[in-house]
């Protein structure tokens, strides 16, 4: 397993990062089995583990904490804050009040005194970014976190955060965690170049595009929309929808490419993400030991220029054929009031 420096922090992390989203009620509810998966990853050279407070409502952090007992010093531990944790107001977001409360809960669940990388899971336009950066800097000085970053922030939000940090003399985001895959290459246009400009580490998520790049979903094969991910978002998987047909067409070509170079489609997918010079580490989120072994099997796969050229022909650089589940959409798109003047003011004359 190779290691890369994480965003100028001096911390070296494995190119494969073990994602813990599938540990707990949402994925694998067997704690002992999850611990065995984590230990197997560590034994094979993975030293970077990423989780979040909201994964299985905190259960994922608890499982990771169990697995790291006696091995904490050898692991770079990352977690995230932002999403709602419980009923009532002020139990989510990026405010000083919530972050100070929730970091203590994450430390408790993880069974540790410090978090190596604490990440803001999504933007929050109800909170001034200065407030968020200020409290994160305080946590660094208190020794509760070693560095902090953001996750799924658009390029303009990253730039604004860095500008505010410089103007106010605050510590800045050291990392970004965006979605990136063979069929979701949108971050190549702006997010990755911005991260490279600021010297940020990048740990990408969803290299298998919510299952589209596992080989499970193929052109001409029926998709059961009543179970698994398709049951949650059937519009993303229904092959009768033209956009999904385009994804499946690309998958067929990518399967052919993987066969030509002697690897599996998941191996190709993870190797592709790791090959970009702006990417530090690729998060893979196995649910079982078999899935972990399959993903680690391709760790030594090197994609030559000819292979990357063929990928560019199938899915052009900067192109999204797939919008990742959970990707952030700005209020300017989701709030119709921000896109429409009052009815009486819409006419030009």
Contact 174, 200 (CB under 8 A): yes
**How many Cα atoms within 13 Å fall on the side-chain side of residue 150?**
27
Q: What is the DSSP string of 78-135?
A: EEEE-S--SSSSSSSSS-HHHHHHHHHHHHHHHT-S-EEEEEE-S--TTS-HHHHHHH
- Residue 78, φ and ψ in degrees, nearest 5: -120, 140
- 115, β-bridge pairs: 145
Q: By C-alpha distance, which of 268, 279, 277 is closest to 315?
A: 268
Which is catalytic among the residues 55, 118, 198, 322?
55
Name the region of 121 (left: φ>0; alpha: ψ -120 to 50; beta: rest): alpha
Closest Cα partner for 189 from 176, 180, 198?
180
259: Cβ contacts below 8 Å, ≥ 6 apart: none
What does the angle CA 106 – CA 211 – CA 180 come to, to the nearest 5 degrees? Answer: 65
Is residue 3 part of the annotated active site? The answer reads no
Q: Which residues pair with 170 in a beta bridge?
A: none
Instruction: Match 């902090």 to its residue by tokens.
Output: 148
| CB-count exposure of residue 173 (10 Å: 0-12, 13-18, 19+) | buried
Q: Are strands 3-5 and 12-14 parallel, antiparallel or unpaired?
A: antiparallel
Catalytic residues: 55
């Amino acid at each position: 397993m190779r290691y890369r420096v994480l965003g100028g922090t001096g911390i070296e992390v494995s190119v494969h990062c073990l994602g813990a989203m599938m540990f707990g009620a949402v994925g694998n509810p067997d704690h002992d089995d999850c611990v065995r998966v984590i230990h197997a990853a560590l034994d094979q050279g993975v030293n970077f583990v990423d989780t979040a407070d909201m994964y299985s409502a905190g259960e994922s952090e608890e499982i990771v904490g169990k697995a790291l007992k006696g091995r904490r010093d050898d692991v770079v531990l990352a977690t995230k804050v932002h999403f709602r944790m419980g009923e009532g107001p002020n139990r989510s977001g990026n405010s000083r009040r919530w972050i100070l409360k929730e970091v203590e809960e994450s430390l408790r669940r993880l069974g540790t005194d410090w978090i190596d990388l604490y990440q803001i899971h999504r933007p929050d336009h109800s909170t001034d970014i200065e407030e968020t950066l200020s409290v994160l800097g305080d946590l660094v000085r208190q020794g509760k976190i070693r560095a902090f970053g953001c996750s799924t922030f658009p390029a303009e939000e990253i730039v604004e955060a860095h500008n505010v940090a410089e103007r106010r003399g605050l510590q800045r985001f050291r990392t970004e965690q965006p979605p990136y895959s063979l069929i979701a290459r949108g971050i190549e246009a702006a997010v990755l170049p911005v991260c490279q400009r600021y010297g940020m580490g990048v740990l990408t998520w969803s290299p298998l595009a919510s299952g589209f790049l596992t080989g499970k979903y193929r052109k001409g094969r029926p998709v059961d929309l009543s179970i698994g991910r398709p049951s949650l978002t059937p519009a993303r998987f229904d092959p009768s929808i033209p956009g999904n047909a385009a994804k499946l067409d690309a998958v067929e070509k990518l399967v052919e490419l993987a066969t030509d170079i002697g690897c599996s489609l998941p191996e190709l997918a993870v190797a592709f993400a790791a090959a970009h010079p702006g990417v530090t580490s690729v998060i893979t989120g196995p649910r079982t030991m078999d899935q972990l072994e399959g993903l680690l099997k391709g760790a030594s796969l090197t994609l030559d220029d000819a292979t990357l050229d063929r990928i560019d022909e199938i899915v052009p650089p900067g192109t999204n054929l797939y919008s990742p589940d959970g990707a952030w959409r700005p209020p300017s798109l989701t709030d119709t009031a921000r896109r429409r003047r009052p009815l009486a003011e819409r006419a030009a004359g």
